[in-house]
Amino acid sequence: MRNFIIAGNWKLNKNNSEAKQLANQIKIRTTDIKNTEILVCPPFTALSVVNDIVSGSRVSLGAQNVFWEGQGAFTAEISADMIKSTGASFVIIGHSERRLYFGESDETVNKRLMAALQAGLKPIICVGETLEQREAGQAFDVIATQISGAFKNLSVVDMQDVIVAYEPVWAIGTGKTATPQQAEDIHTFIRGKIAEQFGADVAKALRIQYGGSVKEQNAKELLSQPDIDGALVGGACLKAETFVPIIQIAESLFQTH
Ligand code: PGA
């Protein structure tokens, strides 16, 4: 049985005092959540202060990126060990904004993923096609390439801690959401690719989140799909009033997922 994981990707938002406030509100409003995993991913600068607030609660902490080298002359980069030392246990890797604006490739995703696993961080690997690619009928091919590139040289054991997030680029921050069926089709496809590479047991246990304009109004339909195991939330995660309802919807669907 796969329990839901609802993650908030804070992106480039929240200074430390705002971050503390938001983390505290999320913590206070989720004390009755028992079966849904809750994750917040603030900017690097706020990891420690948010950890002070959420540690010991049901809210887990993650970073939004990680560099593959452990140490050295790499000005401004952040290693997996540094992230781990803040109290974080997750890291988002290969978000489409990293791919689009910062030259992220399947190869660098793979390197970051290896470094994260080695440090004991649980990686959330983001994949997704652009509108152009979808309209050209290439969505499935693009996802297949991203999946095989990201998981190159990984073992069955490595895959235990991995989460995948399917985020169609055209649905991120646009207010457009993939229909539940469009999302489910890609999620099923991803699970199939994982089964080919790592076997049926790994595929069955793998949690695949959907991301792209998830909000209270569309969460139920999306999370009701059999292969959608959670959400990676951007815009709606920046306020407890809009983030917590998504967690509550996941919690209400736990028995039937
Ligand atoms: P959005 O962002 O919910 O604002 O579309 C999702 C994401 O980029 O992870």
Percent of the chain with pLDDT over 90: 96
End-to-end CA distance of the chain: 8
Is the pLDDT at 1 greater than 90? The verdict is: no
| Cβ of 233 below 6 Å from ligand 1 | yes
Per-residue pLDDT tens over the stretch 199-257: 999 999 999 999 999 999 999 999 999 999 999 999 999 999 999 999 999 999 998 99
| Cβ of 94 below 6 Å from ligand 1 | no
Q: Which residue owns the Cα nearest ligand 1 atom 9?
A: 234
Residues 6 or more apart whose Cβ sits within 8 Å of residue 93: 65, 66, 109, 112, 113, 116, 123, 124, 125, 126, 150
The predicted pLDDT at position 54 comes to 98
| Cβ of 199 below 6 Å from ligand 1 | no
Asked about 187 being catalytic, the answer comes back as no
Give SS3 for 44: helix
The predicted pLDDT at position 175 comes to 84
* Residue that is written with structure tokens 């076997």 in the block: 199
Distance CA 158, CA 193 (A): 16
Q: Which atom of ligand 1 is nearest to the CA of 172?
A: 5
DSSP, res 152: T
Q: Which two tokens stand for residue 211?
A: 């991301």
Q: How far is CA 127 from CA 80, 98, 124, 150, in A?
A: 21, 11, 10, 9
| Cβ of 214 below 6 Å from ligand 1 | yes
Q: Which of 167, 184, 187, 257 is catalytic?
A: 167
H or E segment to which residue 92 belongs: strand 90-93
Q: What is the mean pLDDT of residues 138-165?
A: 97
Give SS3 for 53: helix
Asked about 167 being catalytic, the answer comes back as yes
Distance CA 31, CA 16 (A): 23
The predicted pLDDT at position 173 comes to 86
C-alpha 71 – ligand 1 centre gap (Å): 31
